[in-house]
Amino acid sequence: MIITEIKQLQLMCEEVKTIKEGEEIGAQLLTELSKSENGIGLAANQIGINKRVCVINVKEPIVLINPRIVEHSEEQFMFAEGCLSFPGKHVRTGRHTSVTIEADNHEGKLMFTAESEDINDAFECACVQHEIDHLDGITMFERSVTPQPVRVPEKIGRNERVTITDGKETKELKWKKAQPLVESGDWEMAPA
């Protein structure tokens, strides 16, 4: 049964002592995840086990025991996330475009990146960050971001008068005549 009580989900999970214990928890998680129609990941605390184990199942099932993010990109991508613990709720989050994970049950490092033409790579990259957040007591609501609108500069009409300067001289011209000078890089629009 999936836990939906937010206080329980905000607890930091304890490390698993043995790989065997982690694998047993991982098997439980994969069984529970298989009951979901659209779930792609699950953390142990979502089923009431306060241990650092999570699974993701986007391209293939992956069990992560005591996972930790050891490297991540500065760049982020926007992602509309849902969560099995909060059915019907969605949040727009900012997730790192790439992350490198270490886990006790994997030799070396695992790399997840959204910089691919395969949309499943983006799902996997966001999912692994989401599940590790669960293990750290962080819910998707704490990662919520509001996109900022991009302001497009106003278009100048060809017969509109503008003021341009080259730093020494200032001219007032119709945009049609000023545009080639501004585009050459020698002149720029003077502050209004």
Residues serving a catalytic function are: 131
E-only strand ranges, 36-89: 41-43, 53-57, 61-65, 68-72, 76-82
How far, in Å, CA of 21 to CA of 2, rounded?
20
Tokens of 69: 């993010």
How far, in Å, CA of 87 to CA of 78, rounded?
20
**Sequence-distant (≥ 6) Cβ neighbours of residue 185 within 8 angstroms:** none
Beta partners for 62? 56
Q: Judging by DSSP bridges, how do beta strands 68-72 and 98-102 pair with one another?
A: antiparallel
Tokens of 32: 């529970």
The H-assigned helical ranges of the chain are 6-9, 19-34, 119-135, 175-184
